[in-house]
């Protein structure tokens, strides 16, 4: 029964957020809590000689100072990705020991009575650095002649992969044209409004570690903390309240988190660390620094028949926990054909280490596959003098049952064609084209951008069958429902959407449901956390299953109480109602009360404990498993200033069944904003010597309300839902496709100048260089 699902129900989270009563990790106060700060390397690459912390230790208010040499003995060395064949992970420690490898590399931790004093103490620490030549450019990092950043790896390429699908040589041999291009993305950063931070609370009496986190993955972090601190899992508890955004960053347990926990264990007191913004920009991690060289085999009528792609990914110095950068290469490779009918693909990829901050997952970490592919479609159209939309239509698969990408992804049921049509219709594409021409007459340069994408949310049939998720539910003695999920929301509104699912599944009012997350001692194990657009399906499905199970139990009790067959009972609005027979409804509260407090009145075979934990598997999912759509935008480029204004932006999106439209639209717009910013504003820049240049918000430019346009959204309504769960994720899509549509529009605006856009970061100066108005390197 659908009462709440599909409605834009007001969020459960909002009353506390709107009144300043959110509980973020910096709001955690514990008795005896101390404050930590990290001393960080100012060198991109150096040997570390002596570290003199005596003066720091003596400063009044300082409780402890630990260096890498003191933290290492209480932790295991960090090594990740050991299950990824061919990925050579260096061994390293939470704090740098004998070498620092990026500006911001943590070298010591100071624990003091407050953050002010801790920073004073940092000023008193003396480190002997012997600078080494930094490896900054990820392109030159491949040079085998360069000394390796990690001696145990022996080279700076830590992963290589090579795969081939279809008959690549033959497809290229018979191609009408081969287009060659190299595409560059620039380094960006997730930059949630809340930086990283934690309170590590080790209790020596109980030997328990309680870790208050700002995380997307409580259970994953518990697992990693237990592992690296050699702490029994059952004595590790991760707690998480509200999180001020993550976008993938807070999936990674950081070296600072491990150091903090280790320090707490050594001194036996709770310690808080809240990252400041400068540290955050410097050291929390970056993303998107990738390059792809492609050769595209194209038919005379614009079919992208085959692709040779060589990709380079800059993973910074230290691999981040727990996902090896190699994995992203695999995903990029698998998704590169997208929804198009490519016949052959040769993919070569490499991950290199450089003296820069670690690569972390950032909203659609494989985004480059969409960007390159959509750029290619535009370039093919330009090269062959064909219409971009015709070329897309020609290349798109239909979503027929037999449709499958050359890399193996099942594409049946995708709605790419329909979304493309919807987008063009809703934006009034023909009129846009006329507007563009008319504007040209008055000297204004407009450009129209189009891009199509798919994201696996939760993925096609075989892919999603690898996963499952559990949830727990309990009907309380008052007839209300508590649901426990291992998800880690950071603004997606799970307390609301999952309550909507549960309320409908049980048949109770929305405010009779409470969703509990953020406590590993009571939520079901979920090592994946929240990310990858999976909550929409997996969390919903698991909550639905667990709720249905407790509903069955409740009806079994009600059946015994009312002497009516359970199959003839319904629960509507919190009342157990017999079907067909006119009779008084019974409050679910009464049923629950009876179950818990009057068990003796029930038959022996009726389970009075109205709780359940259920595992939701892929069998419960129907539909294509792909979200996706088409974005269209209209930009104006000012060739005197290089300024780009987005005049219109429209999203036509297939997100399957939607639990809460307002929440979905919010996710889409937030993602689009980040994608736009990656083109026009944001660059986590290093100079040639490895110094970081964007350490404040004056230099790392997040878009404001003036820079993000009004974003129109239309949802594609596909075929009626199947039997299973079809709430698909949408979290990442906006960020994945927006760079493609904005660069497409800029290229369209400058098309008459012969400009080809093959780099993603286009600040005003670069626009004028591309347009030939300003000399390059002047």
Partner 1 sequence: MTFESVRLEVNGVVYERVVEPRRTLCDFIREDLELTGTHIGCEHGVCGSCTVLLEGEPVRSCLLFAVQVPGASITTIEGLTGPGGALGPLQQAMWDNHGFQCGFCTPGFLTTITALLREGDVSEETLREELSGNLCRCTGYQSIIQGVLDAARASGPDTETSR
Partner 2 sequence: MKPAPFDYHAPTSVDEATELLAKLADDAKVIAGGQSLVPLLSLRLVRVDHLIDLNRIEALAGITEGEQVEIGACSRHGVVESSPFVRSQIPLVSDALSFVGHRAIRNRGTIGGSIAHADPAAELPAALLALDGSVMVRNTAGEREIQASDLFTGFLSTSLEPDEILTHVRFPRWDEGTGWSVQEFARRSGDFALAGVMTVLGLGADGKIAKARVALFGVASAAVRAEAAEELLVGELPSAELWSEAAERVAAGIDPPSDLHGSSAYRRQLAKALVRRSLQESATRLGAA
Cross-strand bridge partners of residue 649: 633, 711
Q: Under the criterion CB under 8 A, does residue 381 sit at the interface with partner 2? A: no
Strands (E), 173-235: 177-184, 197-203, 208-213
759 binds partner 2 (CB under 8 A): no
Q: Does 708 engage in binding with partner 1 (CB under 8 A)?
A: yes
**Distance from C-alpha of 628 to C-alpha of 642, rounded to nearest angstrom:** 31
Q: How far is the CB of 187 from partner 1 (least distance, A)?
A: 17
With b for 16 or more beta-carbon neighbours within 10 A and e for fewer, the 729-757 pattern comes to bbbbbbbbbbbbbbbbbbbbbbeeeebeb
Non-local (6+) Cβ contacts of 168 within 8 A are 306, 308, 344, 345, 346
Instruction: Choose which of 3, 76, 115, 417 interacts with partner 2 (CB under 8 A).
Output: 115
| Residue 693 interacting entry, from partner 2, partner 1, none, C-beta within 5 to 8 Å by type | partner 2
If one asks whether residue 493 binds partner 1 (CB under 8 A), the answer comes out as: yes
Contact between 666 and partner 1 (CB under 8 A)?
A: yes
Q: Hey, what are 48's tokens?
A: 């570390």
Verify binding: residue 20, partner 1, rule CB under 8 A: yes
Query: Quick check: 25 and 214 in contact, CB under 8 A?
Result: yes
Give the shortest CB-570-to-partner 1 separation in angstroms. Answer: 31
Q: Is 709 in the site for partner 2 (CB under 8 A)?
A: no
Q: Does 26 bind partner 1 (CB under 8 A)?
A: yes
Among 17, 433, 527, 693, binds partner 1 (CB under 8 A): 17
Walk across the sheet containing 575-578 and list its strands. 569-572, 575-578, 586-587
SS (H, E, C) 479-495: CCEEEEECCCCCCCCHH
Asked if 733 interacts with partner 2 (CB under 8 A), we say no
User: Which part of the chain contacts partner 1 (CB under 8 A), choosing from 221-229, 346-354, 485-493, 539-547?
Assistant: 485-493
Q: Write the burial class of residue 207 (CB in 10 Å: 0-12 exposed, 13-18 middle, 19+ buried).
A: exposed
Smallest CA-to-CA distance from 355 within 65, 149, 643, 115 is with: 149
Build a one-symbol-per-residue string for 247-276: x at contacts with partner 2 by CB under 8 A, - elsewhere: -----------------------------x
CB of 121 to partner 2, least distance (A): 12
Which residues 6+ apart lie within 8 Å of 279 measured at CB?
38, 40, 104, 195
Q: Which is nearer to partner 1, 204 or 710 (CB)?
A: 710
**Is position 769 an interface residue for partner 2 (rule: CB under 8 A)?**
yes
C-alpha angle 742/744/745, rounded to 5°? 65
At its nearest, how many Å lie between partner 2 and the CB of residue 273?
13
CA distance 406 to 238: 42
Q: Which of 202-210, 319-327, 431-439, 763-771 is the region at the interface with partner 2 (rule: CB under 8 A)?
A: 763-771
58 binds partner 2 (CB under 8 A): no
List the one residue from 321, 342, 592, 673 that touches partner 1 (CB under 8 A).
673
Residue 97 touching partner 1 (CB under 8 A) = no
Q: How far apart are alpha carbons 7 and 366 in whole angstroms? A: 32
Q: Does 694 bind partner 2 (CB under 8 A)?
A: yes
Stretch that binds partner 1, among 282-290, 556-564, 671-679, 745-753 (CB under 8 A): 671-679
35 secondary structure, DSSP code: E
Binding window for partner 1 (CB under 8 A); candidates: 291-299, 349-357, 463-471, 663-671? 663-671
Q: Tell me the window of 112-120, 352-360, 658-666, 709-717 that interacts with partner 2 (CB under 8 A).
A: 112-120
Torsion of CA 561, 563, 565, 571, to 10 degrees: -40
Nearest CA among 244, 331, 337, 718 for reference residue 532: 331
**Nearest by Cα to 711 from 750, 680, 747, 742:** 742
Return the closest-CA partner of residue 675 out of 654, 649, 706, 712: 649
Tell which positions 229-248 bind partner 1, by CB under 8 A. 242-245, 247
Q: Indicate which of partner 1, partner 2, none lies near residue 19 (CB less than 5 to 8 Å, by partner kind).
A: partner 1
Our CB check for partner 1 shows the closer of 567 and 698 to be: 698
Long-range pairs for 547-552: beta carbons < 8 A, 24 or more residues apart: 547/473, 547/481, 547/483, 547/501, 547/502, 547/505, 547/506, 548/505, 548/614, 549/473, 549/612, 549/614, 550/473, 550/474, 550/475, 550/481, 550/506, 550/610, 550/611, 550/612, 551/505, 551/506, 551/507
Nearer to partner 2, 501 or 680 (CB): 680
Minimum distance from CB of 156 to partner 1 (Å)? 32
User: Bridge partners of 87?
Assistant: none
- Cβ of residue 10: shortest distance to partner 1, in angstroms? 6
Work out whether strand 208-213 and strand 236-239 pair parallel, antiparallel, or are unpaired. Answer: parallel
Let me know: does 533 contact 455? Beta carbons within 8 Å: yes
Is 301 a binding residue for partner 2 by CB under 8 A? The answer is: no
Does residue 443 bind partner 2 (CB under 8 A)?
A: no
Tell me how far apart the alpha carbons of residues 141 and 111 are, in angstroms, rounded to a whole number: 37
User: Residue 256's closest CA among 509, 502, 29, 39?
Assistant: 39
Which does residue 162 touch among partner 1, partner 2, none (CB within 5 to 8 A, set by kind)? none
From 116, 130, 170, 717, residue interacting with partner 2 (rule: CB under 8 A): 116
Binds 710: which of partner 2, partner 1, none (CB < 5-8 Å by kind): partner 1
Closer CB to partner 1, 20 or 603, in the complex: 20
In whole angstroms, the minimum distance from the beta carbon of 683 to partner 2 comes to: 8
* Candidate segments 91-99, 115-123, 152-160, 451-459, binder of partner 2 by CB under 8 A: 115-123
Specify the residue for token string 């459960």.
12
Question: What is the contact surface with partner 2 in residues (CB under 8 A)?
Answer: 115-116, 119-120, 123, 276-278, 640-643, 681, 683, 685, 693-694, 696, 698-699, 701, 703-704, 706-707, 763-765, 768-769, 773-775, 777-778
Question: What is the contact surface with partner 1 in residues (CB under 8 A)?
Answer: 8, 10-11, 13-22, 24, 26-27, 29, 114, 116, 191-195, 242-245, 247, 274, 276-277, 490-493, 662-663, 665-667, 669-670, 672-674, 696-698, 702, 704-706, 708, 710-711
């Amino acid at each position: 029964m659908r009462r709440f699902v599909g409605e834009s129900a007001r969020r459960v989270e909002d009353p506390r957020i709107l009144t300043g009563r959110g509980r973020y990790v910096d709001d955690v106060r514990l008795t005896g809590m101390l404050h930590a700060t990290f001393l960080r390397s100012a060198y991109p690459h150096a040997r570390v000689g002596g570290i003199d912390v005596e003066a720091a230790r003596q400063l009044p208010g300082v409780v402890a100072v630990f260096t890498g040499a003191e933290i290492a003995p209480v932790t295991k060395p960090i090594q990740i990705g050991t299950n990824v064949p061919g990925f050579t992970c260096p061994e390293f420690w939470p704090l740098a020991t004998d070498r620092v490898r990026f500006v911001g590399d943590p070298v010591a931790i100071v624990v003091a009575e407050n953050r002010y004093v801790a920073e004073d103490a940092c000023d008193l620490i003396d480190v002997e650095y012997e600078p080494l030549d930094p490896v900054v450019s990820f392109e030159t990092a491949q040079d085998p002649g360069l000394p390796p950043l990690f001696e145990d790896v022996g080279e700076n390429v830590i992963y290589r992969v090579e795969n081939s699908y279809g008959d690549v040589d033959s497809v290229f041999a018979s191609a009408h044209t081969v287009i060659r291009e190299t595409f560059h993305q620039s380094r960006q950063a997730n930059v949630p409004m809340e930086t990283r931070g934690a309170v590590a609370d080790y209790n020596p009496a109980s030997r328990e570690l309680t870790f208050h986190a700002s995380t997307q993955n409580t259970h994953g972090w518990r697992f990693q903390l237990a592992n690296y601190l050699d702490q029994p899992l059952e004595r590790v508890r991760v707690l998480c309240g509200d999180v001020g955004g993550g976008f993938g960053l807070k999936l990674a347990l950081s070296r600072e988190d491990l150091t903090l926990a280790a320090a707490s264990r050594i001194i036996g007191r709770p310690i808080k660390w809240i990252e400041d913004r400068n540290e955050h920009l410097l050291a929390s991690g970056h993303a998107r620094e990738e390059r792809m060289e492609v050769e595209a085999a194209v038919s005379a009528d614009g079919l992208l028949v085959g692709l040779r792609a060589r990709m380079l990914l800059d993973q910074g110095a230290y691999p981040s926990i727990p996902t090896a950068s190699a994995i992203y290469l695999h995903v990029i490779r698998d998704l590169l054909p997208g929804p198009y009918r490519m016949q052959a693909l040769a993919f070569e990829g490499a991950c290199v280490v450089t003296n820069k901050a670690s690569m972390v997952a950032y909203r659609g970490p494989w985004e480059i596959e969409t960007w390159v592919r959509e750029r290619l479609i535009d370039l093919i159209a330009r090269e062959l003098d064909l219409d971009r939309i015709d070329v897309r239509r020609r290349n798109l698969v239909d979503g027929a049952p037999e449709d499958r990408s050359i890399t193996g992804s099942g594409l049946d049921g995708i709605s790419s064609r329909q979304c493309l049509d919807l987008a063009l219709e809703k934006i009034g594409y023909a009129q846009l084209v006329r507007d563009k021409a008319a504007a040209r007459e008055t000297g204004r340069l407009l450009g129209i951008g189009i891009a199509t994408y798919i994201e696996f949310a939760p993925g096609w049939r075989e892919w999603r069958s690898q996963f499952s998720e559990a949830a727990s539910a309990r009907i309380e003695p008052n007839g209300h429902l508590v649901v426990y999920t291992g998800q880690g929301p950071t603004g997606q509104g799970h307390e609301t959407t999952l309550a909507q699912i549960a309320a409908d599944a049980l048949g109770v009012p929305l405010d009779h449901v409470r969703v509990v997350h953020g406590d590993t001692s009571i939520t079901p194990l979920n090592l994946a956390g929240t990310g990858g657009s999976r909550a929409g399906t997996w969390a919903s499905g698991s909550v639905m299953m667990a709720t249905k199970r407790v509903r069955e139990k409740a009806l079994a009790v009600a059946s015994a109480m009312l002497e009516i067959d359970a199959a003839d009972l319904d629960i509507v609005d919190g009342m157990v109602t017999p079907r067909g027979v006119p009779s008084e409804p019974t409050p679910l509260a009464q049923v629950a009360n009876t179950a818990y407090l009057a068990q003796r009145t029930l038959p022996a075979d009726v389970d009075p404990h109205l709780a359940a934990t259920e595992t939701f598997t892929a069998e419960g999912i129907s539909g294509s498993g792909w979200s996706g759509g088409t974005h269209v935008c209209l930009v104006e480029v000012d060739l005197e200033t290089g300024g780009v204004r987005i005049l219109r932006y429209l999203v036509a999106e297939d997100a399957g069944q939607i639990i809460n439209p307002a929440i979905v639209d919010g996710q889409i717009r937030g993602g689009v904003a980040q994608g736009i910013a990656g083109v026009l504003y944001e660059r986590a820049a290093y100079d040639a010597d490895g110094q970081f240049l964007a350490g404040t918000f004056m230099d790392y430019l997040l878009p404001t309300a003036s820079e993000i346009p009004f974003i129109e959204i239309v949802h594609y309504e596909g075929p009626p839902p199947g039997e299973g769960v079809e709430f698909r994720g949408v979290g990442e899509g906006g960020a994945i496709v927006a760079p493609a549509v904005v660069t497409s529009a800029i290229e369209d605006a400058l098309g008459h100048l012969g400009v080809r856009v093959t780099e993603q970061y286009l600040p005003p100066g670069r626009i004028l260089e591309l347009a030939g108005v300003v000399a390059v390197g002047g």
